[in-house]
């Protein structure tokens, strides 16, 4: 026989509980953002638009097991000083409005400010963020120990892209640029092999 369900009349509904790690942080940056701390192992922050869960992934590659099929709009790589070393567009719905250099400065300023904000609000050391969403797109972020920042803007349905960005750094950036004696750090990336491998990799996701 099935156990009886006992309801407590004095119990408060779950939606009224306002624990710190469930409380969204809305940032006034011209879009609706909600920032949630993620616990378990290292502390991370994921800025996500509240809504349906991302679509499931049909990928068979091990490093893409947590990323859903996606449509990429653009990708950027910054050095620690804020200089954009690489920029590429694919299916960006709207073209760049105004100066592209100004857009790069705005993007880096946003990343820097959000990183500082999350770090100050984190209840533990090591707090950081790896994604944030607006009502129109999702920004995926990965920063290396040397301060190189990788940005990948995708549609909202994209899943966790951290492994994708780690793969770009470890298997494409390092192999094609860091180990290339002809490439000088902090110079714009124009290596044909890097561009080809990055494009082929992202097209295959």
What is the arithmetic mean of pLDDT over 8-21?
41
**pLDDT for position 90:** 81
Q: Predicted confidence band at 69 (pLDDT cuts at 50, 70, 90)?
A: low
The model carries a pTM of 0.66
Nearest to 36 by CA among 27, 24, 54: 24
**pLDDT for position 56:** 31
**pLDDT for position 70:** 60
What stretch of H or E contains 153? strand 149-154
Distance CA 64, CA 62 (A): 5
Give the start-to-end residue ranges of the domains of the chain. 20-203
CA atoms lying within 13 Å on the CB side of residue 193: 12
Q: What is the dihedral of CA 76, 79, 82, 84, to 10 degrees?
A: -40
- The third-level CATH classification (topology) of the domain covering 20-203 is Beta-Lactamase (3.30.450)
**pLDDT for position 186:** 87
């Amino acid at each position: 026989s099935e156990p009886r369900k006992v309801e407590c009349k004095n119990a408060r509904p779950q939606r009224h509980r306002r624990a710190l790690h469930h409380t969204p942080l809305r940032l006034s940056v011209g879009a609706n953002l909600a920032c949630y701390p993620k616990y378990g192992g290292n502390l991370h922050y994921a800025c996500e638009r509240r809504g349906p869960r991302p679509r499931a992934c049909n990928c068979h590659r091990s490093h893409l097991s947590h990323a859903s099929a996606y449509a990429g709009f653009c990708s950027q790589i910054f050095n620690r000083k804020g200089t954009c070393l690489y920029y590429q567009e694919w299916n960006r719905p709207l073209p760049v409005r105004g100066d592209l250099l100004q857009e790069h400065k705005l993007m880096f300023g946003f990343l820097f400010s959000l990183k500082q904000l999350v770090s100050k609000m984190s209840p533990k050391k090591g707090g950081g963020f790896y994604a944030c969403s607006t009502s129109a797109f999702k920004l995926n972020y990965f920063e290396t120990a040397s301060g190189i920042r990788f940005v990948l803007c995708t549609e909202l349905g994209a899943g966790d892209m951290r492994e994708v960005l780690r793969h770009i750094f470890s298997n494409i950036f390092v192999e094609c640029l860091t180990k290339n004696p002809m490439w000088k750090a902090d110079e714009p990336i124009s290596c044909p092999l890097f561009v080809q491998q990055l494009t082929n990799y992202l097209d295959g996701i």
